[in-house]
Amino acid sequence: MKQVQPYSALASVYDLVMSHVDYEGWADFLVHLVDMHLPEASGLRALELGAGTGLLTDALYDASDWDLTLSDYSPDMLAAAGRRFPDGDVAIRHLDFGGEWKLGAETFDIILLMYDGFNYLLEPAGVHALLRGVTAHLAPGGLFLFDQSTPHNSINNAEFFEDEGEEDGFEYRRTSHFDPASAIHTTAFDIKTPTGRFHEEHRQRAWTRAAVEALLATHPLEVVASFDGFSLDPAHDESERVHWVLKRPA
């Protein structure tokens, strides 16, 4: 079995792995959050970071009138996204959101980073790079929406992080381990494709809500709200998932 970089072999089975996710409901929730904080706005330019194969992007395309740009760091995931949007209805960019952004002078009214993308930033330096990039490319008055998984999610839902599946000659098996001492959640994928067998390991930090709040306080973006899971209830220290809404001052 060949060890490969995260999201290389996984790109071939990613849609199967994520088939349990209600992307349509997630898109509706995000559109509602934007409508709450940018009322009566239309034709907004939106950049999705860490968009992968474009599953959420596709749902946002149906749920909004936004001008969408999809971005990801993995060439294999971007290739799959390109097959999802062959007509160019969604722009596609290669972008490392935890590193140097190479978007020139482009700005967006909305920037999104969803489904644990934030958790791939293992150290504060990566978070600061993300927030600098967002600040540089978010239009004045624009919104940055992101979610984070917390240690409570890793501990309370351990059984949901291990599964397996197969479809059309592709197979995967996912195993998971969370280390409370380091707050690192490691997920391993064993993947079988028509071209071979592959192993990927993914490492994420389960940031606490308070730690994220402290990092956000060092940047000029204004924290407008933080929500508990997919509700409109305020996030708290026991939240398993937090959705943050930030605004760049006008």
**pLDDT (tens digit, 9 = 90+) per residue, 125-180?**
999 999 999 999 999 999 999 999 999 999 999 888 999 999 999 999 999 999 99
User: Which 3 state secondary structure label does DSSP give 191?
Assistant: strand
Same domain, 41 and 90: yes
> Could you tell me the CATH number of the domain that includes residue 70?
3.40.50.150
pLDDT higher than threshold 90 for residue 26: yes
Residue 37 sits in which domain range?
14-151+207-247
Residue 250 has what pLDDT?
86
Same domain, 50 and 161: no
Same domain, 66 and 140: yes
Same domain, 137 and 237: yes
Give me the percent of the chain exceeding a pLDDT of 70.
100
**Letter string b/e over residues 205-241, b meaning 16 or more CB atoms within 10 A of that residue's CB:** bbbbbebbeebbeebebeeebbbbeeeeeebeeebbb
Q: What is the DSSP string of 90-153?
A: SEEEE--TTS----TT--EEEEEE-TTGGGG--SHHHHHHHHHHHHHHEEEEEEEEEEEE-HHH
